[in-house]
Amino acid sequence: MAAGVAAWLPFARAAAIGWMPVANLPMPVAPTNKNKHQDELIILNVSGRRFQTWRNTLDRYPDTLLGSSEKEFFFNEETREYFFDRDPDVFRSILNFYRTGKLHYPRYECISAYDEELAFFGIIPEIISDCCYEEYKDRKRENTERLMDDLEDNKDSKLPNMTFRETMWRAFENPHTSTMALVFYYVTGFFIAISVITNVVETVPCGSTPNQRDIPCGERYTEAFFCMDTACVMIFTVEYLMRLFAAPSRYRFMRSVMSIIDVVAILPYYIGLVMTNNEDVSGAFVTLRVFRVFRIFKFSRHSQGLRILGYTLKSCASELGFLLFSLTMAIIIFATVMFYAEKGSSSSKFTSIPASFWYTIVTMTTLGYGDMVPKTIAGKIFGSICSLSGVLVIALPVPVIVSNFSRIYHQNQRADKRRAQKVQKARLARMRISKSGSSTAFLHSKRNGLNQSLELTGSLEEDQQMKKTTSLLESQHHHLLHCLEKTTNHEFVDERLYEQGYLQTALQNFPSRSPSLSSEEGITGTCCSRRTKKNMQPLSATHTHSHTHNLQELSALHIQCGEQQPLNTSRSSLNLMSDESGSLNCKSSGLVTTAIISIPTPPSNNSRASPDAPPPPNPDAPPLPNPGTDVVKISAL
């Protein structure tokens, strides 16, 4: 229950008078406010700045420092005030949390100082309200990243007992750790460059032989290029194998992008070695050589910027996809239009719609090669529309991609945001729990038999005992919910137990046949249901067993009561009240007997008859069974 509406609890309780004439059962005793003192102002002196508030305001959150008795440790007898040697600026936000129920995070405040204050006053940061939560989480993430960076810098100092494998992996991942790693880093970089340059130069035509034909250098100096290629590939293979050996998780390493690039870069060479110089396969072989250019991607291990660019493109996939999709749509539309526009003209290059695609792409990207031009007037009109819209369509997603890149470049990790989203989900789950906490709190207190004790005895000692565990506000709220239960003669259970109860009644319906059975089911059902102060259930079961021996038809109900026993042992807790409940049980069972005997009539009249039957014998018994009205429908589904 939110603290803000705690002030309205008296109103809700007063409004409960509206249920009273409708209820058929007596209401439980209200919890009394033993220490009913006038609400007083208390002074909180935080490093000299005095804050004043009502005591009730602080009592709204009993599980924090200010709301619990922990603040008594800070009470100053001479000045009659609570003194805290903490930051008064942050305390302002904390006190406002008690007043308004919302915790705000001021932007000018340092995140670690704020966290410390929250921890001191016993407030969890997850309840920061939505207006300030994003800011808080962002700052917190930056802070932890900074801490982790510092930690990593410290971690780079060599740890004494690292295995050779771990040392190697660390050397590969972070070249600055040792000189050897740095040397290795530069050597591989050099060879990547050499390999790429070789591939490029291989195709340059150099020198003319007497054959009057420019042949590329690759074919002229075949052995030299082959040696270079071999050397590079050997270096790359050795590097790949070493990385594979050193990787902590080989399977994960083999799946990573960089290793795939490595493999793709060196495979063509080996495939080329294996294949003979066959005419048929040489075409395919030439195609394979193209993959050698992927070696250039190996540079991304050496360049942070390249990695970020790749990462940006990956994360902007949706924008890129949109760009591609809109372009495709536009291309198809305009190609179709141009094709039909130019159909009439003779010797038109627009022979088919796919042929017009080329014109559309070249025009939309404002390249304008001029190899295909429209000749008809309609074609020219549509062609100009095409080029204008091309500018717009391409210009739209580009700024988005650019801003994405700069954002990622500055923030540096999108993976952390995904981690933060997981925390956000956990936070939402926690908030949901706290919201449902009030309902589960009521069910918990029922399990612990608090309400039952209030109903039965209302004696002082038990009240005091119970008060220790729940605050007055909580007990009043639970009393209100208990009144509602009494009004409707149904009880709150949680979902799991509800389904179990439903299953049991479903199971029970198969043996039942006669309508008279249903009425009697109702009664014993009442008996069982009444004892849903779960601790009492075992006793009631035994009592009903003794009574139902008289009535053979009620054997089916045996099962019900018996089945409910395992249910109740799970719910029951150590309870002091069992003996009193036992005595009460006898009384009510006695009533059950009389009720059973007095009903020869069909079920519809039961609801009227039974309230009248029990009152004469036992007017004082508080749990007046009213079987007919509400609990009968165990048989009906």
Partner 1 sequence: MGAVVGTLTMQTRQRRPSRDKVDDDLELSMVCHRPEGLEQLESQTNFSKKELQVLYRGFKNECPSGVVNEDTFKQIYSQFFPHGDASTYAHYLFNAFDSSHNGSIKFEDFVTALSILLRGTTTEKLQWTFNLYDINRDGYINKEEMTDIVKAIYDMMGRFTYPALKTDTPKQHVDAFFQKMDKNRDGVVTLDEFILSCQEDENIMRSLQLFENVI
Segment 500-519, which members bind partner 1 (CB under 8 A)?
501-502, 505
Q: What tokens appear for 587 in the block?
A: 């009384």
Task: Please enumerate in sequence order all residues whose Cβ is within 8 A of that of 161, keeping only pairs 6 or more positions apart, or say none.
Answer: none
Which residue, 87 or 491, has its beta carbon nearer to partner 1? 491
Choice from 365, 438, 512, 594 touching partner 1 (CB under 8 A)? 438
- Assess 545 for contact with partner 1 (CB under 8 A): no
Q: What tokens appear for 296 in the block?
A: 């250039």
Choice from 607, 609, 618, 621 touching partner 1 (CB under 8 A)? 607
Report which residue type is found at 53: T
Output the CA torsion sign for 587, 593, 594, 599.
Answer: positive
Contact by Cβ (8 Å): 496, 504: no
- Assess 8 for contact with partner 1 (CB under 8 A): yes
By CB under 8 A, the residues from 47 to 86 that bind partner 1 are none
Contact by Cβ (8 Å): 523, 559: no
Choice from 11, 186, 226, 245 touching partner 1 (CB under 8 A)? 11
Q: How far is the CB of 480 from partner 1 (least distance, A)?
A: 7
Query: Rounded to an integer, what distance in angstroms lies between the CA atom of residue 519 and that of residue 523?
Result: 7
CA dihedral 547, 552, 553, 559 (to 10 degrees): 70
Q: What interhelical angle do 397-411 and 317-341 show, nearest 10?
A: 160
By CB under 8 A, the residues from 213 to 272 that bind partner 1 are none
Q: How far is the CB of 476 from partner 1 (least distance, A)?
A: 8
Which residue, 225 or 357, has its beta carbon nearer to partner 1? 357
Which residue, 300 or 629, has its beta carbon nearer to partner 1? 629
Please report, for residues 50, 197, 216, 260, 326, the alpha-carbon distance to residue 269 in angstroms, rounded to integers and kept in the order given.
Answer: 80, 16, 20, 15, 40
By CB under 8 A, the residues from 321 to 350 that bind partner 1 are 326, 329-330, 333-334
Query: Rounded to an integer, what distance in angstroms lies between the CA atom of residue 120 and that of residue 129?
Result: 19
By CB under 8 A, the residues from 610 to 629 that bind partner 1 are 611, 629
C-beta pairs of 196-204 under 8 Å, 24+ apart in sequence? 196/293, 196/295, 196/296, 198/225, 198/228, 198/229, 198/232, 199/289, 199/292, 199/293, 199/295
Stretch that binds partner 1, among 277-285, 303-311, 494-502, 587-595 (CB under 8 A): 494-502
Contact by Cβ (8 Å): 394, 325: no
Contact by Cβ (8 Å): 564, 541: yes
Stretch that binds partner 1, among 22-30, 120-128, 160-168, 459-467 (CB under 8 A): 22-30
By CB under 8 A, the residues from 376 to 405 that bind partner 1 are 385, 388-389, 392-393
- Assess 429 for contact with partner 1 (CB under 8 A): no
Choice from 491, 524, 535, 585 touching partner 1 (CB under 8 A)? 491
Choice from 35, 39, 73, 354 touching partner 1 (CB under 8 A)? 39
- Assess 130 for contact with partner 1 (CB under 8 A): no
Query: Rounded to an integer, what distance in angstroms lies between the CA atom of residue 278 and that of residue 297?
Result: 30
Which residue, 7 or 227, has its beta carbon nearer to partner 1? 7
Q: How far is the CB of 498 from partner 1 (least distance, A)?
A: 4
Q: How far is the CB of 495 from partner 1 (least distance, A)?
A: 5
Site string for partner 1, 525-544 (x = CB under 8 A): x---x--x------------
Site string for partner 1, 471-490 (x = CB under 8 A): ------x--xx-xxx-xx-x
